[in-house]
Chain A
Amino acid sequence: MARTLAEKVWDAHVVRRGTDGVPDLLYIDLHLVHEVTSPQAFDGLRLAGRRVRRPDLTLATEDHNTPTLDIDLPIADPTSRTQIETLRRNAEEFGIRLHSLGDADQGIVHQVGPQLGLTMPGLTVVCGDSHTSTHGAFGALAFGIGTSEVEHVLATQTLPLQPFKTMAITVDGTLPHGATAKDIILAIIAKIGTGGGQGYVLEYRGEAIRSLSMEARMTICNMSIEAGARAGMIAPDETTFAYLKGRPHAPEGADWDAAVEYWQTLRTDDDAVFDAEVVLDAADIEPFVTWGTNPGQGLPLSGRVPNPAEIGDDNQRVAAERALEYMGLTPGTPLRDIAVDTVFIGSCTNGRIEDLRQVAKVFQGRRKADSVRVLVVPSSARVRLQAEAEGLDRIFTDFGAEWRNAGCSMCLGMNPDQLAPGERAASTSNRNFEGRQGKGGRTHLVSPLVAAATAVRGTLSSVGDLGIEDAPDGSPLTTTVSA
């Protein structure tokens, strides 16, 4: 029978098929762990006298609570410090590999898996974090889980799961100048809504997706959860294989050949049927920005703050009114006129080396607007080292930006990197919820290019507003690969 990509990966992991409402038992290939959602899971193991079944399929890193300054000093916040120390003790006791603060492979869990070559096509990947969907960019079935499920995977390396439905999201055509993967996913969320993907695994396909780099594909799959879906996937291809080849944990020799042969079968069959389908034309996608307090409240940057009175649906109108009040915005204001206090470049959505390269191309030879503070936070220590090897750190600091150590940072403000009440940010992260980046903070979600241009002008801007056609070195600003 013809199957979709998600169904193929699912079927390859069924340990025991459920019947009569009993869920399938699925094998988990890779379990990623961090300090916030794991302590109670390890406690549960201890109480039950259980061990970690497969430490060799488990990897831990410190990311949510870690500071991005003074990482060689004790962590100032005692509760954050305790949570990190607890992870260190648990990793030691249960024999789990941990990349701690100060280690070159420390960083956001969704960057560390791919950079080590542990994230591969055809795997099942879980983590106690909703942005685990990121790993779907490799053609893996990857999703976030709760703490009981973390304990379950630690103890059994499996999860009982009811099957998902499948949704195809096809993006045809070519992106216009200045638009990026972030704009694609923000446009998708605005189109299908924050609940549109509920119960589905999304599969992104089409010419515009095929032409994206791995980093850009990760940006798209990362925000599947903001569309309500637990997982998003992209079929693996030569771009995927090229990214993986030679990474520390990538297969070698005969294993590599066998893997690639299998990975090439991981595509949706031509006659497979999705439960739902959505189609977008990349040519219509402009630099996008959110104006409200959920990721679906977004518009092209050329637009204006919407007028709630013109929204027909009662629930959406009330939500828009509340959002505009929280955001301190007046209907009809051109989005380009909105001045920001802070620009945050980082997170598991947009803190990778390509994102930093794009930003550096805009920053080069320019200075930040006086009124703006600019934070650049790499997604992992390895990304930071790579950026420094390329001289990007000098470009950032010459521009007037702060160049920080790696972690989740201001995306969720569990560490000291937070917005003050009323402070407005253009942020390359993934959630613009009330209080997400700091109590009373106001978040506009944007791409790295829009964030960079905004840092130059002080108001929400695209690179087109700076008159930039291509980078100073003549290379194109957006980082796509040929199909």
Chain B
Amino acid sequence: MEKFTQHTGVGVPLRRSNVDTDQIIPAVYLKRVTRTGFEDGLFSAWRNDPAFVLNQAPYATGSVLVAGPDFGTGSSREHAVWALKDYGFKAVLSSRFADIFRGNSGKQGLLAAQLAQEDIELIWKILETTPGTEVTVDLVNKQVRCADVTVPLQVDDYTRWRLMEGLDDIGLTLQHEGDIAEFEEHRASWRPRTLPAKHLPKVEVKAARAAGVPVEIGRPLPQN
């Protein structure tokens, strides 16, 4: 994971509360098998609206999303975080995040930073008055700076440390591989293993057919 200490980029004011993960990216995009390329799904229901903030030239290159409260509620789909990252966002600022969204963000190097709602309002005003204004998110000093405004940001110490060191969870956990191996040595032998596979005898499963009439496998299908 890339280290995150400080980022400066165009701020995007998203004046909406309760933006759930279905709004961030609809379920139809969940059938994809890639982790990238989700930018077209981001806020897809709103992107057809010319008035939507990302459709306005000064904001289109934005990388700091300044959102209303309760951002990222709903399903656990990590695709929401991927879509934001793929579009180019490095940080999301809000006064309240859904737990799972915040967790998924931290694992993907997207900073979900909590600000007081009045500070969000302050930044919204600057970004709307002077579109294209840059916002600096400073994780080292736990500050957000925008024009002449400097406000504090909140992020839990563990996530902050991980982001600043650029450590992904897997890398961190693998530092303790010795502990894992030792734990495994003492696991009780009754605990299950999926391999080698054990199961009841293999039995043929017949395919169900439309109209509720089961048809034997191998019988020729009706031609249309």
Which residues of A pack against B, CB within 8 Å?
15-16, 20-23, 25, 27, 29-30, 36, 39-40, 43-44, 48, 50, 53, 55-59, 65, 68-73, 79-80, 82-83, 86, 97, 102-106, 116-118, 120, 123, 130, 144-149, 151-152, 155-158, 160, 198-199, 248-249, 251, 255-256, 258-259, 262, 381-382, 384-385, 393, 397, 400-405, 414
Contact = CB atoms under 8 A, between A and B. Distances in A.
19 contacts: A16-B176, A21-B158, A39-B33, A57-B192, A83-B31, A105-B199, A123-B191, A148-B169, A152-B170, A155-B174, A156-B173, A157-B180, A198-B99, A248-B200, A397-B213, A397-B214, A400-B212, A402-B208, A414-B30
B192 A146 contact: no
Interface residues of B, number: 56
Contacts of A382: 200
Given A71-B208, A156-B173, A148 B194 contact: no
Interface stretch (B103-111, B123-131, B144-152): B103-111
Given A59-B194, A256-B190, A384 B205 contact: yes
Nearest to B173: A156
A58 B194 contact: yes
Main SS class of interface, A: mixed
Q: Which of B180, B184, B190, B211 has the most CB of A within 10 A?
A: B190
Interface of B: 30-35, 75-78, 82, 99-100, 103-104, 107-108, 156-158, 169-170, 172-174, 176-177, 179-180, 183-184, 187-195, 197-200, 202-203, 205, 207-214, 217
B69 to A, nearest CB: 13
Nearest to B183: A15
Nearest to B193: A56
A146 B199 contact: no
Contacts of A199: 99
Contacts of B203: 104, 385
Contacts of B205: 71, 102-104, 106, 381, 384-385, 405
Contacts, number: 180
A160 to B, nearest CB: 6
Contacts of A117: 192
Q: Which of A56, A156, A157 has the most CB of B within 10 A?
A: A156
Contacts of A40: 33-35, 78, 82
Contacts of A262: 188, 190
A48 to B, nearest CB: 7
Contacts of B207: 69-73, 405
B174 A156 contact: yes
Given A148-B169, A402-B212, 15 more contacts: A27-B187, A29-B192, A55-B194, A56-B194, A83-B31, A83-B32, A104-B200, A123-B191, A155-B170, A157-B184, A160-B172, A199-B99, A249-B198, A258-B190, A405-B205
Contacts of B179: 15-16, 25
10 A-B pairs closest in CB distance:
A39-B33, A259-B190, A148-B107, A40-B35, A248-B198, A251-B190, A79-B31, A56-B195, A255-B190, A402-B212
Contacts of B75: 130
Contact of B193 (A57, A258, A259, A397): A57
